Amino acid sequence: MTERRGLPAVGLGVRSKALLERAEQSLAGGVGSSARSTRAGWQPYPPFIASGQGSHVTDVDGNDFIDYLLGLGPMLLGHRPPRVTEAVVTALREMGTVFGLPYALEAEAAERVVQAVPGIDLVRFANSGSEAVGTAVRLARAVTGRPLIVRFEGMYHGWMDTVYWSNHPPKKEAGPSERPLPVPAGPGIPSSLADTLVVRGWNDVAAIDQVMAERGRDVAAILTEPLMLNTGCILPEDGYLKHLRELTSAHGSLLIFDEVITGFRLALGGAQEYFGVLPDLTTLAKGLGGGFPVAAIGGSRAIMDWIAEGRYSHSGTYNSNVIACAAVKAAVDELSIPGTYEALRARGSKLMDGLRAAAREAGVPVQVQGVGPVFQVWFSDSPIHNYRQAAALADHERFHRWWQEMYSRGILFHPSQDENLFLSTTHSDLDIDRTLEAASEAFRACAVAR
Ligand X SMILES: Cc1ncc(COP(=O)(O)O)c(C=O)c1O
Name the residues annotated as catalytic.
156, 258, 286
Total binding residues for ligand X by CB under 6 A? 14
Q: Would you count residue 281 as binding ligand X (CB under 6 A)? A: no
416 sits near ligand X (criterion: CB under 6 A): no
In the complex, minimum distance from the CB of residue 295 to ligand X, in angstroms, rounded to a whole number: 6
**Other Cβ atoms closer than 10 A to 447:** 14
Q: How far is the CB of 127 from ligand X (least distance, A)?
A: 8
Distance CA 321, CA 318 (A): 5
Q: How far is the CB of 271 from ligand X (least distance, A)?
A: 11
Minimum distance from residue 97 beta carbon to ligand X (Å):
20
Binding mask 197-226 toward ligand X (x if CB under 6 A, else -) reads ----------------------------x-
Stretch that binds ligand X, among 44-52, 94-102, 156-164, 436-444 (CB under 6 A): 156-164
Among 48, 125, 152, 156, binds ligand X (CB under 6 A): 156
Region of 246 please: left (phi>0), alpha (psi -120 to 50) or beta. alpha
Q: Does 279 bind ligand X (CB under 6 A)?
A: no
CB closer to ligand X out of 124 and 157: 157
User: What's the chain's Rg over C-alpha atoms?
Assistant: 22
Q: Shortest Cβ distance from residue 131 to ligand X (Å)?
A: 7
Nearer to ligand X, 133 or 335 (CB): 133
Stretch that binds ligand X, among 125-133, 137-145, 183-191, 198-206 (CB under 6 A): 125-133
Cβ partners under 8 Å of residue 67, min gap 6: 52, 55, 56, 57, 75, 79, 412, 424
| Residues in Cβ contact with 439 at an 8 Å cutoff, skipping those fewer than 6 apart | 354, 355, 358, 359, 406, 411
Of 109 and 284, CB closest to ligand X: 284
C-alpha span between 388 and 207 (Å, rounded): 14
Binding to ligand X by residue 130, rule CB under 6 A?
yes
Q: Among 46, 47, 129, 169, which residue sits at the site for ligand X (rule: CB under 6 A)?
A: 129
Residues 13-52 touching ligand X, rule: CB under 6 A, are none
**Quick one: 69 or 362, whose CB is closer to ligand X?**
69
- Interface map 246-275 toward ligand X (x if CB under 6 A): ------------x-xx--------------
Q: Determine the interface stretch with ligand X among 42-50, 122-130, 182-190, 268-276 (rule: CB under 6 A).
A: 122-130
157: contact with ligand X by CB under 6 A: yes
> Does the protein bind ligand X through residue 77 (CB under 6 A)?
no
State the minimum distance, in angstroms, from the CB of residue 432 to ligand X: 25
Q: How far apart are CA 104 and CA 252, in angstroms?
A: 36
Measured from the CB of residue 324, what is the shortest distance to ligand X in angstroms? 12
By the criterion CB under 6 A, which residues form the site for ligand X?
128-130, 133, 156-158, 225, 230, 258, 260-261, 285, 295
